[in-house]
Amino acid sequence: MDEIEVDIELRKEEKNNLIKLVIIAVIIYSITIAFHGLFLHFFDSNFDLIISDQVVFYNRGVGILKGDLPYRDFPTRAAPLSPYLWAPIVLISIILTGNYSLDYVTDTTYMTSTSMMFSSYVFRIFFSCCLIISALILYKLLESRNTKHSFWISLGYAVNPYFLYLVSFWGSDECIVPLLILLPIYLLERKKFLFASICIVIGAGLKYFPILLIPLILIYRKDIVKGFLNVFLILVGVTAVFLPFYFVDPVGFLAQFNHPLDRDNNQGIATLFDKFLINNETVNLSLIFLILAIVFVGSASLLLILEKKWKFEKTYIIIIPFLMFFPKIQFSYFVMMYPFVFITLFKKNMRLVSLFTLLFSMVGGVATNYILTFEGGYFFWYTISWITVVLLYLSMLLLFLMVIFENRMLSLFQKSETI
């Protein structure tokens, strides 16, 4: 009887924590979005801070509502299912504003479209919801492992300044990525392999990044034959999602994977190598670093598969090599590792490195942009930018190694305490 009462109390506490988490997060995101609106009204009359991603999302949604196809009828440098996610948001904005025009907008005409202006905030609300739901999933994952400080880890993750900026002043669709990463992991933890596989397929159709989770199937599946069969079915599902769009317009579909290093906002280590170390135009650094990303992610995945003591936060080991070597990287991509950063922030042996990774990832993209566009102006900020970028990559590398050797480090740490 006592065990039943304890279980009931734990369930009540968990429910209360989830409710508190939602309430606090909703209040903070509401204030942040309201602040963004007030800032635009008083300091940015041209609403430049709504653009340009919001225009892109809106036009993709409009394209779907018109019956157009991605890649063939309108440009889409994104996963093929993402325009279908934006279409309902655009439809809601059209209905609520009474502006039933399905014309595409541009960077110069967007202010004349009331539905576009309204949708920019509907997008932000949707992104906030995705981040809050991902925080709830993170809490459930931590509680299932009886992790200490589960509530504070999840709350800190939910309302960290990086997310608040992504939602408000950036309005980035990378806000949906943590949900696409954590939901399959949660289902795998509960041994819901079919639903986890479906989530990975759909998630890959929305943002590509969930493809990185495929090795986790081989970790959670105890039967290796069933594991490889599961992986095969996921690859078939992903192919089935992508292939129709490829056949509609092969050139347009493949164009999204072409990342010329001289293109704006191609931050990342490959760009720096190209600018400062490589003068040979025949060297295709994008291809070289893409191969490096695949090799290192594959090697890291093998280490995870062979790992005896698996913890879901070790998904870090797959994500960090991708972020380090993928040729096109924007600072919003770091959103993938934030659930795991906040877990390691509460581990004594990783706290400092996690804090550095957290801080430098917030400004790493801006620092790289400053380096690449520097024309002899403020040398102080140029130097600071280099220091930031170097420390970002070093902290990620160090954290990667610490996660790999965590068990060995903990045993050494415990031995030193006993001595």
Q: Where are the domains of the chain?
A: 260-419
**Contact (CB, 8 A) for 364 and 331:** yes
CA of 97: how far to CAs of 100, 102, 342, in Å? 8, 13, 39
Q: Which of 316, 82, 59 is nearest to 176 (CA)?
A: 82
> Which of 187-201, 282-296, 306-320 has the highest mean predicted lDDT (pLDDT)?
187-201
Give the pLDDT score at 328. 72
The DSSP string of 297-316 is HHHHHHHHHH-SS--GGGGH
* 201/366: higher pLDDT: 201
From CA 290, how far away is CA 293, in angstroms rounded?
5
Q: Could you read off the pLDDT of 36-65 as tens digits, one per residue?
A: 888 887 887 766 656 668 889 999 999 999
Place of tokens 């990378």: 174
Q: How many CB atoms lie within 10 A of CB 314?
A: 20
Among 114-123, 258-267, 398-407, the minimum mean pLDDT is found in 258-267
Cα 373 vs. chain centroid, distance in angstroms? 26
Q: For 96-122, what is each residue's pLDDT tens digit?
A: 999 888 989 887 788 888 899 899 999
Report how far residue 340's alpha carbon sits from residue 320's, in angstroms, rounded to the nearest whole number.
11
Strand partners, 74: 70
Name which residue leads in pLDDT, 265 or 197.
Answer: 197
What are the pLDDT digits (tens) for 174-201?
Answer: 999 999 999 999 999 999 999 999 999 9
What are the tokens at 24? 């606090």
Confidence bin at 277 (pLDDT 50/70/90): confident
pLDDT exceeds 60 at position 311? yes
Q: What would the mean pLDDT of 389-407 be, rounded to a whole number? A: 88
Closest to 396 measured CA to CA, from 312, 331, 307: 331
Per-residue pLDDT reduced to its tens digit, 139-164: 999 998 877 889 999 999 999 999 99
Which tens digit of pLDDT belongs to each residue from 224-235? 899 999 999 999
Q: On the CB side of 271, how many CA atoms lie within 13 Å of its CA?
A: 24
More confident residue, 321 or 259: 321
The residue type found at 1 is M
For residue 236, pLDDT beyond 80: yes
Cα 142 to Cα 123: distance, rounded to the nearest angstrom? 29
Q: What is the spatial distance between Cα 406 and Cα 223, in angstroms, rounded to a whole number?
A: 26
Per-residue DSSP letter, 123? H
**Cα angle: 65, vertex 69, 73; to 5 degrees:** 105
Instruction: Yes or no: say if 325 and 294 are a contact pair by the CB < 8 Å rule.
Output: no
Is residue 172 scored above 50 in pLDDT?
Answer: yes
Share of the chain above pLDDT 70, in %: 89
Distance, CA of 374 to CA of 344 (rounded, Å): 35
Radius of gyration of the chain (CA): 22
Quick one: average pLDDT of 305-319?
A: 85
Residue 326 near residue 293, CB atoms below 8 Å: yes
CA 359 to CA 357: how far, in whole Å? 6
241 vs 285, residue with greater confidence: 241
Does the structure show a pLDDT above 60 at 264? no
| 266-270, 273-277, 313-317, 398-402: least confidently modelled range | 266-270
pLDDT at 417 > cutoff 60: no
Q: What is the mean pLDDT of residues 325-343?
A: 86
Which of the residue ranges 181-190, 270-279, 333-342 would you say has the lowest mean pLDDT? 270-279
Structure tokens at 151: 């509530």
Question: Is 0.85 surpassed by the pTM of this model?
Answer: yes
